[in-house]
Amino acid sequence: MKKIIIITIAASTIIFCASSSKAQSQKLFNGRDLSGWHVDVPEKDTNASAINPFIIRDGMLVSLGTPQGHLITDAVYQNFRLDVEYRFSAEPGNCGVLVFASTPRSLYKMFPKSIEVQMDHLNAGDFWCIVEDITVPDMETRRGPKAEWGITEGKKRRIKNLTDSSENPLGKWNRMKIECVGNSIKVWVNGDLVNYGFNCTASKGNIAVQAEGSEVEFRKLNLRPIKKFSKK
């Protein structure tokens, strides 16, 4: 069974086919090591004893939270669906998945240029603009006064999600689906559509996982391409 996604831009119609075939799905994390990823932790530049905050434990990828930084795919992706299963196993906290990531340390000398899909407990599905931008319906309601919008330090970069009750209780596994097609991003949490943005200033890039102060376990990071098959 195939899902057809049609996007009309001016006079052109671009058709994407999202196949349900399992053969197309790619495990970004193999359960054994960090093959296919690289680590960017600024503290390691000056502190020889700083640890790698991304470890493998019981077949899971674990972000220990500190020192802060990012685990970044070696490969660049566009037109894909990313399925993530994660949980805060001990204390509620903060983390995120970054899509369309590119230039490292572009914000606060820490965050790569990207769009962050927030995983912060009780705020899963928010967008954070990190030197890239995206548009959503009801922008002023969800982002604040337009005059204060921006994509760099000190600007209103957070775009609130659409729901308040999509996350499971602390310690339970959450399922997040992130679908990137062209310049649009859709996010589901446990089956609920929690955010949708379009006119993003990027359409491809690396994928990154954060270490942002809290321990988070990941048992699934699977990517499925969405292939463009026709243009009229």
Residue 72 CA neighbour count, 13 Å, CB half: 22
pLDDT at 228 over 70: no
The CATH T-level fold of domain 24-226 is Jelly Rolls (2.60.120)
106, 223 in Cβ contact below 8 A?
no
Contacts of 110 (CB under 8 A, 6+ apart): 42, 68, 69
Distance separating alpha carbons of residues 145 and 231, to the nearest angstrom: 38
C-alpha separations of 134 from 52, 157, 212 in Å: 31, 10, 22
pTM attached to this predicted model: 0.89
62 three-class SS: strand
Cis peptide before 137 (omega within 30 of 0): no
C-alpha separations of 133 from 75, 156, 196, 199 in Å: 22, 11, 13, 8
Condensed to tens digits (0 to 9), the pLDDT of residues 20-68 reads: 444 489 999 999 999 999 999 999 999 999 999 999 999 999 999 999 9
Where are the chain's structural domains?
A: 24-226
pLDDT at 5 over 80: no
Condensed to tens digits (0 to 9), the pLDDT of residues 91-106 reads: 899 999 999 999 999 9
pLDDT at 13 over 50: no
Give the mean pLDDT of the chain.
90
> 90 pLDDT band (50/70/90 cuts)?
confident
pLDDT at 14 over 90: no
188, 176 in Cβ contact below 8 A?
yes
Residue 121: what residue type?
Answer: H
pLDDT over 90 percentage in the chain: 84
Dihedral (Cα; 181, 183, 189, 193), 10-degree rounding: -90
Instruction: Strands of 74-215 (E only): list them.
Output: 80-87, 96-101, 114-118, 127-130, 158-159, 174-181, 184-189, 192-197, 206-211
Tokens representing 161 are 């999600």
DSSP 167: S
Q: How many CB atoms lie within 10 A of CB 20?
A: 10
Please report the pLDDT score of residue 24 as a whole number. Answer: 82
